[in-house]
Structure 1
């Protein structure tokens, strides 16, 4: 029941009622990735292409779509990773969650939120002053 209420009143938790209805009416399940996101296609978009969408496993986070599925979602390929033996390239890194706004966010040296000491200024910088 809690999941249904979240889907009714929020757009960032899984799917909205509109997406649920569209998926039920037009959606054909294409596949699922390792993170549990489920991919669908069906109907046509404004450019006449087959409409493609994802229902996230958890909060809607666009960076949670793996590279192979990203190419399929954006019509860069007509073959989904579920339909072929897709293997990640050697240079591809594993997915990392977007930690912006959390305690695990990147905080460079000199940041107010960083616990370390601010780096010492070397003196190679002259502050700008008007009419100088």
Structure 2
């Protein structure tokens, strides 16, 4: 299974970086930092390109707001050198949980568990 995973990761982006991305990173990439999840951030020599090499699953929501701002040129200072001033009420960054058991389930949802609540403010439409 190891050889198959290696071949898949060489040609598909959802199994990690492609072979071309690895070669480009090795030749032109300048490592600028790493986040707490192990994702590594790069730029080229003239700073015209910025990219991330994910540690594990390739999921854009795994990039923290600090690094997202740097990648999209919202600000030029590296988050490792000048972190954002976070408000005390802000929650820590959390990746997209859609499709997982940790996803939000509103009250009354089938996934919320328990018995569905009876609604008195809704009357089902019945065709004549």
TM exceeding 0.5: yes
> What's 2:92 paired with?
94
Contact 2:61 2:95 in 1 (8 A): yes
- Distance change (3 Å), C-alpha of 1:88 and 1:116: farther
RMSD: 2.6
- Ranges in structure 2 where 5+ consecutive residues have no aligned partner: none
TM-score (norm 1): 0.77
Residue range with higher mean Cα deviation, 96-105 or 1-10: 1-10
Structure 1, unaligned runs of 5 or more: none
1:17 Cα shift?
0.9
Residue in structure 1 matching 2:38, options 36, 52, 60: 36
1:106 lines up with 2:112 in the alignment: no
**Aligned length in residues:** 125
**Matches of 2:16 and 2:90 in 1, distance apart?**
26
Q: CA deviation at 1:88?
A: 4.7
The TM-score with structure 2 as length reference comes to 0.79
1:65-84 maps to which residues of 2 (within 5 A)?
A: 65-82=63-80, 84=81
| 1:121 equivalent in structure 2 | 119
Cα distance 1:30–1:63, how it changes in 2: closer, same or farther (>3 A)? Answer: same
Q: CA deviation at 1:85?
A: 3.3
